[in-house]
Amino acid sequence: MRIGILFGGCSEEHPVSVKSAQEVATHLDPEKYEPFYIGITKDGAWKLCDGPDGDWESGRPAVLSPDRSVQGLLVLEQGRYETISLDVVLPVLHGKLGEDGAIQGLLELSGIPYVGCDIQSSALCMDKSLAYLVAGNAGIATPNFWTVPANENIGPDRLTYPVFVKPARSGSSFGVSKVSRKEELSAAVDAARQYDSKVLIEEAIVGSEVGCAVLGNDGDLISGEVDQIVLSHGFFKIHQESSPESGSDNSTVVVPADISPASRSLVQETARAVYRALGCRGLARVDLFLTEDGKVILNEVNTFPGMTSYSRYPRMMDAAGLSRAEVIDRLVSLAVTGKIQ
């Protein structure tokens, strides 16, 4: 099967995407797949390369054709374009233009089957405020929240502190601040606006941060093992560490989570309910809060979670008995046939 693997991208999560693609490349079965690696530079140039390692940015210029009669890549070769057909695309892209429906729109135009959520669910999950509205209407608990559009402000006296201030449409904790006093609010909003003009302010939930990996379409869903973020201080800042492979200075990810069997089942059940309510397909990591009284509250949904060696999604699936290679196989099967085979 000829599989196109997109990685890199223009978002602040570019380096994470490259690491994710490196891990995918390690676990891609050469007996099943003929990979074509397309790296996207931070400036948005597309390069057909030998893989996500080394000097991939010196690869040949290539684009994904939106013309369904081509269904593949157009590669610039000596002043002419040659075509490479693809059977499926695995968009290993995180953040803006990768998880927000943009690349999914191009893939829909191309007519090539692709792994992961579609345009609508990608866009919905990327905007945390919209995800909260839809999940809340489906009966799923969410934090109390406020949105601050571009060029507007919110009166600091309206809020009960502490609160978290974050970009509404970003990921990996970029631009996120915990605000304990009203005097800190303005600076936190400015920090969030470095990543998105729309800012989300939400109440601080007292409880454990837990997550659940989900794989599948519609009613046929597989849940990974539940994980738990154990903090020594501060709040969880994924991918903000100088060397995340070596661990974090304030947090440890525990898999399986140190929670009761009843809480574990409730977290998995809630994660599947969130996944369905937001129209996810293929895969997603659903992040939640578990309070001391056993209530589960939505935090956020990552429609293409990290696949690095230290990422949470593959570790949760590992703990559930699915290797990284098996996860890739099942994702490709879902993209091509709509079913897990």
d(CA 106, CA 204): 37
Residue 182: active-site member: no
Residue 158: active-site member: no
Catalytic residue among 19, 47, 169, 272: 19
Residue 209: active-site member: no
Residue 199: active-site member: no
Q: Which of 143, 20, 115, 144 is nearest to 330 (CA)?
A: 115
Residue 105: active-site member: no
Catalytic residue among 198, 272, 285, 315: 285
C-beta of residue 301 within 8 angstroms of C-beta of residue 131: yes
Catalytic residue among 16, 165, 189, 214: 16
Buried b (16+ CB within 10 A) or exposed e, 9-46: bbbbbbebbbbbbbbbbeebeeeebebbbbbbeeeeeb
Catalytic residue among 14, 47, 94, 166: 94
Catalytic residue among 166, 310, 313, 324: 310
d(CA 306, CA 136): 26
Residue 14: active-site member: no
Q: What is the CA radius of gyration of the chain?
A: 20
d(CA 155, CA 132): 22
Residue 233: active-site member: no
DSSP H helices, the chain, are: 14-26, 102-110, 119-126, 128-137, 185-192, 261-277, 312-319, 324-337
Residue 339: active-site member: no
Catalytic residue among 14, 128, 166, 239: 239
- DSSP assignment of 225-257 equals --EEEEESSS---TT-SS-GGG--SSEEEESS-
Give catalytic residues, as residue numbers.
Answer: 16, 19, 94, 239, 245, 285, 306, 310
